[in-house]
Amino acid sequence: MTNKQFQNKYVLVTGASTGIGQQIAKDFLLEGAHVAAHYCNNKKEAEKLLEFSKNCTLIQADFSQSDDVMKLWDEFIAWSKGKIDVLVNNAGAIYDPAPFSELSMESWERTQQVNLKAPFLLSRAALAVMAKRKEGRIINISSGGWLHGGGEETMHYSASKAGLEAITKAFAKVGARNNVLVNAVRAGATDTPFHKKMGRTNIAARVDYIPLKRLAKTTEISNAVLFLASDNSSYTTNTIISVTGGE
């Protein structure tokens, strides 16, 4: 049973076709929100969200292209009739993991584009709308891995997440003037298909580093996001909530 705490709220969730993003979108829908769920290639998985509520719409965009990021924003604003209550920057990617001595500049730049530049562009656009209404929430999904520098082959991913937390704090300082709260959830290793995309084969070795000795559930990350979007966090901004199992 839910209390529909986000009834009539307009929410944009990026990277919502699978994993953490899909869970976040689903939970907002179950709480009564109107949700625009962004996906890049996996339309089939994204369409599963349509089963939860008629208040869901899907928007495709390739965040490795800045023009596509702004195209998504324009489509969202047209759908929501100019309103946005919550932006969740969840979309993330890691291109061609490799030791830094072999890492191509294309892989570096595409990873920064998706994980850092796209959230910057969307946050800037959302903040302008939210500031006029004197309320709004921007929530970025970071990664606990960057605190340790990441793996030898994932430096570009870790750097992008460190940057994401930096712009979270910068946007929070500006947003506070107009009651726009900006925070991040630092997600630990989570049970999603992302590990396979990263080429990680030995999950047990990764889990061994986690004090709680297990991967996070997607619901555990989503719970933190919904808290930050709710009235229960009305005095919380410029904060990074770590959901990392003790890492």
Cβ atoms of 14 and 122 closer than 8 Å: yes
pLDDT at 143: 93
Q: Check if 157 is active-site.
A: yes
Q: What are phi and psi of 37, to 5 degrees?
A: -105, 115
pLDDT digits (tens, 9 = 90+) for 116-142: 999 999 999 999 999 999 999 999 999
Catalytic residue among 95, 157, 209, 235: 157
Say how far apart CA 231 and CA 4 lie, in whole Å. 12
pLDDT at 197: 56
Please report how many Cα atoms fall inside a 13 Å half-sphere around the Cα of residue 70, on the Cβ side: 5
Per-residue buried b or exposed e for 108-134, using 16+ beta carbons within 10 Å of the residue's own CB: bebbbbbbbbbbbbbbebbbebbbeee
CA distances from 120 to 38, 103, 227 (A): 16, 24, 22
Q: Which domains does the chain have, with CATH numbers?
A: 10-243 (3.40.50.720)
| Burial class of residue 244 in the structure, from the number of CB atoms within 10 Å of its CB (0-12 exposed, 13-18 middle, 19+ buried) | buried
List, in order, residues 6 or more apart from 128 with CB less than 8 Å away.
Answer: none
pLDDT winner (highest mean) among 109-118, 149-158, 194-203: 109-118
User: What one-character DSSP code corresponds to residue 210?
Assistant: S
Q: Tell me the mean pLDDT in the region 214-231.
A: 95
Locate the DSSP E strands across 173-235.
180-187
pLDDT digits (tens, 9 = 90+) for 63-88: 999 999 999 999 999 999 999 999 99
pLDDT digits (tens, 9 = 90+) for 79-123: 999 999 999 999 999 888 888 888 899 999 999 999 999 999 999
Say how far apart CA 107 and CA 102 lie, in whole Å. 10
Please give the residue that has the higher pLDDT: either 157 or 198: 157
